[in-house]
Chain A
């Protein structure tokens, strides 16, 4: 059987994928550890040890990226899980318009992040934007969504949720639909109500779906760049600067070593959070 397997499912089949993956992903990642410790112009480099990391961790305009990135990832991930689950439960029940609602919820995920960012920037305009105009009409003075340093990050996170909740919803629908019907029937015989149905069947059995959503949206949140760039460019001040946007700014300014150090910091951060989270969620899944 082993010889059969070797002959039929030869590892040579993996070669093209392995080469592309190695040259364009693994190699640069490995090299980044070296180049993050250099003063680098792409053609020439000078080894400077941990200087770049020191700059990154002590400079206030750079290290604000940590806090912002974490807040952003946690807020977007939580909202996507909660809203995605609610919508998923709602849309997998028998409804007349579920197809329509599902399409409406899913459609933003197909749109360009930049386009969505620009459109929302206009809708969040402090005086002219339709959000505040609507709020004014019912007697509320809306805040300056993107201009106020205290809420700008949350405003961008809100748009991220608007755009991304469709994926979460579809994953939850897929998870809920794969729950065998007999569980519900058994519950009905035992006289359970809708809340029991949610709590003791849907919630535990859509666990794989929930784990997928948590992992995807958490990692996505940690790595976000384009939406912030389209909406605020990291401003006002540095209040919406995420690690990924700082990496781009340093790259643009020609500080390639510093930019690469930012990259190393980002992937250390993402790995340190995502790998254990992944392991933890997977272990929990087995217990059920």
Chain B
């Protein structure tokens, strides 16, 4: 796509002419890109939004026409009150699971990434293998349920949180370890020379310096855990344990034809990731550069 807008084989005598031609081509390429993006990514969003505004009859047509009257408020009321306010429980559960998991992931991941980057020993290949295994090997479902049952954490909040932490740890460690490279080791030595203990060194000096990558961890794993459907389905079942992804699911089988409510539900649960995105938008590329792509 980008080949078009840079034409370096310009003939010097026609410089200004070529320049305007290039500008025009560039304009068309940009316009095309914006229109293509709007069509490809925008239309599905528009489809969901417009159907969330409709009443039941109009939404059942599944088209993209603007509704004759906006029913968003009614739809919201119905979605929130459905199944005795199940979505409120689900919001609570999802946010608790996500919040606790992230706090644990930041502390455990940062501590691990810090030590693994700083201390290279004969055990290093073994640790690398464990991290790689955690990224590659899919979790064993039923045995995990069995373990959770044996220690009494099946269908509990701590249980699902610990499973999410275990499964997201390898990626988190990878990000922290990658970022640690950018913090000079002489800083540690200076701090220790000044009489700083090793715990204080980590908590008071290193951890605050890891803020940029912590932001990346927050965005990526929060979205991951918040949107997770599979793990709550297996390890956190039951109506009182509903998470937002599962409500969406129950909702669809319950109101097979009430697409307006379903799409309102979709909109409602998409708000937290949207807020996160708006806050951390710039951090995403920066974090990727420092962590995932060495």
Q: Which residues of A contact B (CB under 8 A)?
A: 5-11, 13-14, 16-17, 20-21, 23-29, 31-32, 35, 40, 42, 86, 89-90, 93, 95-97, 100-101, 103-116, 118-120, 122-123, 125, 128-130, 133, 162, 170-171, 173-175, 177-178, 188, 191-195, 197-198, 208-209, 212, 219, 222-223, 225-226, 229-230, 244, 247-248, 251, 256, 259-260, 263-264, 266-267, 270-271, 274-275, 278
Residue B142 at the chain A interface, CB threshold 8 Å: yes
Residue B284 at the chain A interface, CB threshold 8 Å: yes
Do residues B114 and A191 form an inter-chain contact, with CB atoms below 8 A?
no
Q: Which residue of B lies closest to A264 (CB)?
A: B140
Do residues B139 and A259 form an inter-chain contact, with CB atoms below 8 A?
no
Rounded to whole angstroms, the CA-CA distance of A208 and B178 in the bound complex is: 13
Residues of B within 8 A of A222 (CB): 138
Q: Which residues of B contact A (CB under 8 A)?
A: 1-3, 5-9, 30, 33-34, 37-38, 40-45, 47-48, 61-64, 104, 107-109, 111-112, 114-116, 118-119, 121, 123, 130, 132, 134-147, 149, 151, 162-163, 165-167, 169, 173, 188, 192, 198, 201-202, 223, 227, 229-230, 233-234, 244-245, 248-249, 252, 259, 262-263, 266, 269-270, 273-274, 276-277, 281, 284-285, 288-289, 292-294
Rounded to whole angstroms, the CA-CA distance of A108 and B273 in the bound complex is: 10
Given contacts A194-B6, A194-B8, A198-B3, contact A251 B234 (CB under 8 A): yes
Rounded to whole angstroms, the CA-CA distance of A95 and B29 in the bound complex is: 10
Rounded to whole angstroms, the CA-CA distance of A266 and B137 in the bound complex is: 8
Do residues B146 and A9 form an inter-chain contact, with CB atoms below 8 A?
no
Do residues A17 and B143 form an inter-chain contact, with CB atoms below 8 A?
no
Given contacts A5-B119, A90-B33, A118-B262, contact A191 B8 (CB under 8 A): yes
Residues of A within 8 A of B1 (CB): 86, 89-90
Do residues A104 and B198 form an inter-chain contact, with CB atoms below 8 A?
no
CB < 8 Å neighbour of A108 from B41, B143, B163: B41
Rounded to whole angstroms, the CA-CA distance of A90 and B181 in the bound complex is: 30
Min CB gap A180→B, angstroms: 13
Given contacts A16-B108, A108-B41, A125-B62, contact A32 B143 (CB under 8 A): yes
Rounded to whole angstroms, the CA-CA distance of A195 and B63 in the bound complex is: 42
CB < 8 Å neighbour of A24 from B61, B144, B192: B144
Given contacts A113-B227, A130-B43, A256-B142, contact A20 B293 (CB under 8 A): no
Residues of B within 8 A of A21 (CB): 130, 134, 166, 169
Do residues A29 and B234 form an inter-chain contact, with CB atoms below 8 A?
no
Do residues B248 and A115 form an inter-chain contact, with CB atoms below 8 A?
yes
CB < 8 Å neighbour of A23 from B112, B166, B198, B229: B166
Ranked 7 nearest A-B pairs via Cβ: A32-B140, A24-B166, A28-B143, A9-B119, A17-B108, A110-B273, A28-B144
Given contacts A21-B130, A194-B2, contact A13 B143 (CB under 8 A): no
21 residue pairs A–B, Cβ–Cβ below 8 Å = A9-B118, A20-B166, A21-B130, A21-B134, A27-B143, A42-B145, A89-B2, A100-B34, A100-B37, A101-B34, A105-B41, A110-B227, A111-B273, A112-B269, A114-B229, A114-B249, A170-B284, A171-B293, A194-B2, A251-B141, A259-B142
CB < 8 Å neighbour of B252 from A118, A173, A175, A208: A118
Given contacts A8-B188, A13-B115, A114-B249, contact A25 B166 (CB under 8 A): yes
Residues of B within 8 A of A229 (CB): 229
Do residues A267 and B137 form an inter-chain contact, with CB atoms below 8 A?
yes
Residues of A within 8 A of B41 (CB): 104-105, 107-108, 162
Do residues B293 and A14 form an inter-chain contact, with CB atoms below 8 A?
no
Do residues A23 and B147 form an inter-chain contact, with CB atoms below 8 A?
yes
Rounded to whole angstroms, the CA-CA distance of A230 and B229 in the bound complex is: 10
